[in-house]
Structure 1
């Protein structure tokens, strides 16, 4: 169940981890669909046999940008901002992929509210998100994700 955060209480949550998303499965079908949509068909993503022979990971790994593209769904599964009429993805300030995400892994996002800045009609939320694999180890993605929220 998503955390419910009142729009007017957001500034008081800065610096706190406020939610953890659901788990999302990243299987070969999702990786293959992303490869087709983006035309990034590098063998480390789409060729399980070659990966078994030649990759240091022994199996396909997800595109970093596939992991990144799951952030809006992870955020939506984790948080409902009460009183928000509309939210917009405003961009990213920093993104890193510290560890590869192996096929058939589940991932989730841990959401820390880093900033709340007033803008016309609403606020810009700065989220620090860490995407972790249920296999453990280093995060598969860390990012500063900006969302504009309008009340």
Structure 2
């Protein structure tokens, strides 16, 4: 895991891969809880029997937005950003879902620092991300996330 405590330290990673998170298993329980939280109970996510019998993947699949919602959790396994007043999830750009995540699949996040700029004391970073699915050639998604970091200055 990388530890970053300032804008200058972050800048050293420009154009470089920051790392890869550990694997996370997408369980049916997690899918069901996400469906409850978002009121999205489409059968392809929550009806295991119907998905097995009628679905194109012969099993339920995770909501695309569920996989996206795991970015902060997995990102914190890659980099420990310290010395902060505040951090903000600022945006997602150029996101493309490449393939579904079937229940009980293992996923992990890969991140690369695409750009970094100092906006009057606020560090704005663009991270190239890829959500890998274990034993699959195609990722679940690729894209770019934007974070704002307010480092404590002395």
TM range (shorter): over 0.9
Gaps of 5+ in 1: none
Partner residue in 2 for 1:4:
3
Local SS of the residue matching 1:13:
coil
The worse-fitting range, judged by mean Cα deviation, of 36-45 and 78-87 is 78-87
Partner residue in 2 for 1:30:
30
Size of the aligned set, in residue pairs, is 150
User: Normalization by structure 2: what TM-score?
Assistant: 0.92
Structure 1 position 96, deviation (Å): 1.1
Distance of 2:33 and 2:120 partners within structure 1:
38
- Alpha-carbon RMSD: 1.2
Gaps of 5+ in 2: none
Alignment of 1:2-151 (within 5 A): 2-7=1-6, 8-151=8-151
User: Where has structure 1 moved over 6 Å in runs of 4 or more?
Assistant: none
Distance of 2:120 and 2:46 partners within structure 1:
44
Deviations 1:56-115 (A, max 9, x none): 100000010000000011111110124333211011112111011000111110010001
Deviations 1:90-142 (A, max 9, x none): 11112111011000111110010001011233211100110001132200011
Q: Please tell me whether the aligned partners of residues 105 and 135 of structure 1 are also in contact (alpha carbons under 8 angstroms).
A: no
Structure 1 position 147, deviation (Å): 0.5
